Amino acid sequence: MARKRDPDREAQRRSDILQAAARAFIREGLRGTSIATICKEAGISPGHLYYYFPSKEALIEAMAEADLAAIRGYAQHLHTLDELLDAAVASSEFMSHPYNEPGKLLEGALAFDLHAEATRNPRIHAIMDRHYRDISALFGERLAAAQKAGGVNAAHDPVKLARLVGAVREGLLVMSAIGPDMVDAEMRSVARRMLEAAARG
């Protein structure tokens, strides 16, 4: 007799596996991590892993979805241009010590691996392209609301502005991974003022 499926339990198990896989990827690299390593880290069998995620790409796709849900969650608390820019610039602080942001999966070392892999693997490229577009669209909506409230120059396309903010955020993350002291509070503050002037001007 087949065991009855328990959706809550399966969702929890999926989430646990994603966290375990992210830890392994961050530690040993996306290419350097075997299915055996992920199973060991998650404490499950290969058959069990395969039932949830049939490939590394399926894991990355699910991580992107989980990240988008988490980002959507905190973005709904960001209303003004100030709040949006604070959030964008502050995120590079996380790079100074642990290499990924708590609760987010595609951060730090794994994000950098994915940038490289996106140039080689069309499936990873498609996942990352979609992910960055989803995030730009999400923050574009928040910036459009700030624009209606008068905080952002009406001439800007809010999605393009969100991409510019996103590009600066990515650059600060890379720089702070390489030299944490190169991206200090002053640098973040200068970057934030620069983005603010671009958004208002």
Return the residues of window 161-180 that contact a copy of itself according to CB under 8 A.
163-164, 166-172, 174-175, 177-179
> Would you tell me how many other CB atoms lie within 10 Å of the CB of residue 168?
19
What gap in Å lies between CA 95 and CA 27, rounded to an integer? 15
Q: How far is the CB of 80 from a copy of itself (least distance, A)?
A: 20
- Residue 108 makes contact with a copy of itself by CB under 8 A: yes
Tell me how far CA of residue 4 lies from CA of 9, 10, 17, 46, in angstroms: 11, 11, 21, 21
Binding mask 38-77 for a copy of itself (x = CB under 8 A): ----------------------------------------
**Residue 78 lies near a copy of itself (rule: CB under 8 A):** no
Interatomic CA distance for residues 143 and 155, integer angstroms: 12
Is residue 115 at the binding interface for a copy of itself, with CB under 8 A as the rule?
yes
Binding to a copy of itself, residues 2-41 (CB under 8 A): 26-29, 31-32
HEC string of 156-194? CCHHHHHHHHHHHHHHHHHHHHHCHHHCCHHHHHHHHHH
Options 14, 70, 112, 144; binder of a copy of itself; rule CB under 8 A:
112
Its sign, for the CA torsion 71, 28, 45, 126, is positive
The SS3 call for residue 92 is helix
List of residues contacting a copy of itself (CB under 8 A): 26-29, 31-32, 99, 108-110, 112-113, 115-120, 125, 128-129, 132-133, 136, 160, 163-164, 166-172, 174-175, 177-179, 182-183, 186-187, 190-191, 193-195, 197-198, 201
